[in-house]
Amino acid sequence: MDFYLAIILARFIIMQNGEDREFLDNWGSEYEDFYDFTREFRIKPILEHIGIELNILGDIVESIIGKKVVFLVGNGVQKYSIGNFVLHAIDSLATILGGYFGKRRGKWGRHLIGENLLNLGNRIKSNLEL
C-alpha cells in the first residue's frame, strides 16, 4: 500500500506542477521518465486499494507541495519482498519535492536513525559517509 501511495502522490504533485524543477534539472534529470512510470498505474483502482478518496489525496498533495516534509520510514518496510520498491518509491517522492538524500542543503537533509538532537549518543555505528 505504501508503494502505491508514494507513486500516486508523486504523480499528482507533478500533475499540479508542484515538483521542484530547479532541483530536478540539477539532480534528477530523468524525472519525466519517472512521471511516465507513475502514469502506468490507474488512479481509481489505486485509490480503492489504499482506501482513500480523491479529495483526500488532493488535500494531502496540497499540504505537502512547497512545504518542509518529513518521511519517516520504519525498518518494517524492508522485511517484505517488495521493500526495496517501496523505499525507492518513497525516495522518488521526496526527490520530486526537492529532497536530496545524502547532502544537507537548504530545507532538506537525510538523517539516519542513530542521529539525534538529544545528545543521547549514536547507538548505530556506520562507515557511511554523507
Residue 42 has pLDDT above 70, yes or no: yes
CA distance 76 to 106: 29
Torsion of CA 99, 29, 15, 44, to 10 degrees: -90
Mean per-residue pLDDT, 108-114 = 47
Say which DSSP state 82 is in. Answer: T
Can you give the C-alpha Rg of the chain in angstroms? 16
What sign for the dihedral angle of Cα 110, 15, 64, 74? negative
> What would the CATH number be for the domain defined by 2-96?
3.40.228.10
Q: What backbone phi and psi angles, to 5 degrees, belong to 38?
A: -65, -30
In the prediction, which pLDDT does 112 show?
A: 46
124 residue type, one letter: I
What sign for the dihedral angle of Cα 30, 31, 33, 34? positive
Q: What is the mean pLDDT of the chain?
A: 79
In the prediction, which pLDDT does 48 show?
A: 96
In the prediction, which pLDDT does 41 show?
A: 95
Residue 93 has pLDDT above 70, yes or no: yes
C-alpha cell at 106: 537548504
